[in-house]
Structure 1
Amino acid sequence: METRARPPANPLDRLSARDFLLLREPDGIGTLVLAGYQLALVLFTLGIVLAAVGIEAPVDSSHGLWAAALNLLLLCVGIRLAERTARRIRSRRDRS
């Protein structure tokens, strides 16, 4: 009996750079767009909180795109570290 490789369930697994540039994979592009919306919402909320508290953004630049990109990078690194920390705490709790 021959087994066939199933297509990846995640649309981003099927999305190549060429398909993205040629807009050929609507599911993958839609996933990227939704991720962008979510990140924009997080940044907007974070901006409101920082403005209310009176704290400046961690990165400032003369060009808005550079500042947004660097702040987004720091936010993503922070989210990733928080996720790894939570996973480590859960795995220790499950072992006990």
Structure 2
Amino acid sequence: MEYVNPLTGFRVDGRRPNEMRQLKGEVGVVARADGSALFEMGNTRVIAAVYGPREVQNRGQQVNSKEALVCCEYRMAEFSTGDRRRKPKGDRYVPT
């Protein structure tokens, strides 16, 4: 498949070979988060949200006043992955 038309020198979507897709960004997109941002480039959308700081609920997780515990979660929409198999019943997202 040709990505650049040899006659026009443009890609199928109208961009030149050395031209990037448009990048858009917006902050404050998740109402309940302490901070959030949305970035879009082409058909790719990424949302990031920050919650905290919060007091630890489990004393075993407590660290000294100069350190912090950072927990991260990463999720992708099922339709955006290459894995198209049906998931077994009971296979669901469980936050850690």
Where on the TM-score scale, by shorter chain, does this alignment land: which range?
0.3 to 0.5
Which structure ranks higher in relative contact order (CA pairs < 8 Å, sequence separation ≥ 6)? 1
TM-score, normalising length from structure 1?
0.32
TM-score, normalising length from structure 2?
0.32
Larger Rg: 2
Richer in strand (by share): 2
